[in-house]
């Protein structure tokens, strides 16, 4: 394990630390720094960020932060927030033709509840899908830790019976993902491929960054050769170039796949990709529960940690 892998493991451990979380959340400048990655806490903040991105020809997927809820009332609140968000996007003419869609973590809408969690999550996700359909857009189901993968894919299959454009997320660091890509690379299937951002055991996930990248490329080959709609979620210039080459080799039109990056990361490259005529979508998170999201973003790309720490030191 090299230094970057060690740092990644440390950051993922910190994402679960309540003591470190409290310290960072109370730091006077934390909120200002976090705004680079999370545009705000309310629906209006997410809508305004989306409008700014759409003005530069970038598409959007919006995530209301929160996960692993064990409270049915909180799950219902999350559903209501998504419904309100979709109505607001529709009112601003931002959502038509999928220009602005939403990303949903099933554990935030009931999947982790001790009784009937999967059924509750399916019902709640269906409500969000109905609101998205009314707004002229789609939903993508975020993938979480490996213990939820089978449940998430099962719920996805049910939703696609009525909402066939519901998107899936697959993570290249899991050993199983190349096989999952084969299963999902079908006509009409939208699949976001990312590296993965949870601390997973070696029994189910690659631990070395190079192995994760090699898996990513193998998965990309499957998705680009398939009949679905690949969504290439990466900030790595090498993987972006490989994705373009694979798409060209398969004779794909620019509108038959898309690139995705996180809000606040490589924004200039985002606009360059869009300006070159490629589909470029930005993942926009909002809400109070930003700590776990932030730590996982640091782990995915430890260079981001330098920016965060420098900001704390220079303004603290």
Structure letter (DSSP) for residue 247: H
pLDDT band at 28; cut points 50, 70, 90 = low
Task: Write down the pLDDT at residue 4.
Answer: 52
- Select the more confidently predicted residue: 30 or 277: 277
Locate the domains of the chain by residue range.
1-38+293-315, 48-286
Q: Does residue 192 have an active-site annotation?
A: yes
State yes or no: 90 annotated in a binding site. Answer: no
Does 176 qualify as catalytic in the annotation?
no
CATH code of the domain occupying 48-286:
3.20.20.220
Q: CA 245, CA 243: separation in Å to the nearest integer?
A: 5
For residue 289, name the pLDDT band (cuts at 50, 70, 90).
Answer: confident
Alpha-carbon radius of gyration of the chain: 18
Q: Does the annotation list 195 as a binding residue? A: yes
Split at pLDDT 50, 70, 90, the class of 21 is: low
The pLDDT value given to residue 32: 65
The span from the CA of 220 to the CA of 11, in Å, is 27
What pLDDT is attached to residue 36?
A: 83
Residue 298 in marked binding region: no
Higher pLDDT, 310 or 104: 104
Catalytic residue among 192, 244, 281, 301: 192
Q: In terms of C-beta density within 10 A (0-12 exposed, 13-18 middle, 19 or more buried), how is residue 210 classed?
A: exposed
* Closest CA relative to residue 139, chosen from 114, 111, 158: 158
Q: Which of 63, 126, 142, 281 is catalytic?
A: 142
Three-state DSSP at 33 gives: helix
Residue 125 binned pLDDT confidence (cut-offs 50, 70, 90): very high
């Amino acid at each position: 394990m090299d230094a970057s892998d060690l740092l990644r493991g440390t950051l993922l451990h910190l994402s679960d630390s309540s003591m470190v979380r409290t310290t960072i959340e109370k730091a006077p400048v934390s909120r200002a720094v976090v705004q680079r990655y999370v545009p705000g806490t309310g629906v209006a903040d997410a809508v305004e960020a989306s409008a700014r991105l759409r003005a530069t020809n970038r598409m959007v997927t919006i995530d209301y932060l929160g996960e692993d809820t064990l409270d049915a009332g909180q799950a219902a609140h999350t559903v209501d927030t998504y419904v309100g968000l979709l109505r607001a996007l529709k009112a601003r003419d931002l959502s038509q033709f999928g220009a602005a869609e939403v990303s949903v973590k099933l554990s935030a809408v009931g999947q982790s509840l001790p009784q009937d969690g999967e059924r509750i999550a399916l019902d709640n996700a269906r409500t969000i899908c109905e609101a998205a359909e009314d707004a002229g857009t789609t939903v993508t189901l975020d993938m979480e830790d490996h213990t939820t993968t089978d449940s998430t894919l099962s719920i996805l299959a049910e939703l696609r019976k009525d909402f066939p454009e519901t998107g899936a997320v697959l993570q290249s660091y899991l050993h199983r993902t190349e096989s999952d890509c084969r299963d999902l690379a079908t006509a009409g299937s939208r699949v976001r491929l990312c590296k993965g951002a949870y601390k997973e055991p070696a029994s189910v996930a690659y631990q070395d960054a190079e192995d994760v990248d090699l898996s990513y490329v193998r998965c990309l080959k499957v998705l680009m050769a398939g009949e679905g709609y690949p969504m290439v979620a990466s900030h790595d210039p090498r993987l972006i170039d490989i994705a373009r080459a694979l798409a060209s080799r398969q004779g794909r039109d620019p509108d038959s796949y898309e690139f995705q990056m996180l809000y606040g990361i490589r924004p200039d490259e985002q606009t360059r990709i869009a300006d070159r005529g490629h589909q470029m979508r930005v993942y926009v998170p909002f809400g109070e529960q930003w700590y776990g999201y932030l730590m996982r973003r640091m782990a995915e790309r430890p260079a981001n940690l330098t920016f965060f720490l420098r900001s704390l030191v220079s303004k603290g």
